[in-house]
Amino acid sequence: RGTLKEGYFADIVIFDPETIADKATYADPKQYSVGIDTVIVNGQVAMENGVQLEDVHAGRMLRKKITK
């Protein structure tokens, strides 16, 4: 999401296309995907070496603009 430009908001996901897989099932939906190495949210590393960093809260709520 976003544009990679100074002063802009952007999210980056670094993954291996050979190993990325969704492990969630209907019976057990709250499972992380595998093959994702690093996630950067608004310029802050939120996941590194496949481990989510718990003290990072860089996201913002995206709101849908309602037009009449």
What's the pLDDT tens digit per position in 7-46? 888 888 999 999 999 999 999 998 878 999 999 888 889 8
Residue 7 and residue 22 in contact, taking contact as beta carbons nearer than 8 Å: no
Give the tokens for residue 15.
């993954």
DSSP E strands in 1-68: the ranges are 11-15, 36-41, 44-48, 51-52
Give the tokens for residue 23.
């492990």
Bigger pLDDT: 29 vs 60: 29
**pTM for the structure as a whole:** 0.68
Give the tokens for residue 58.
């860089």
Residue 6 has pLDDT above 70, yes or no: yes
pLDDT band at 68 (very low <50, low <70, confident <90, very high): low
Residue 64 and residue 10: Cα distance in Å, rounded? 18
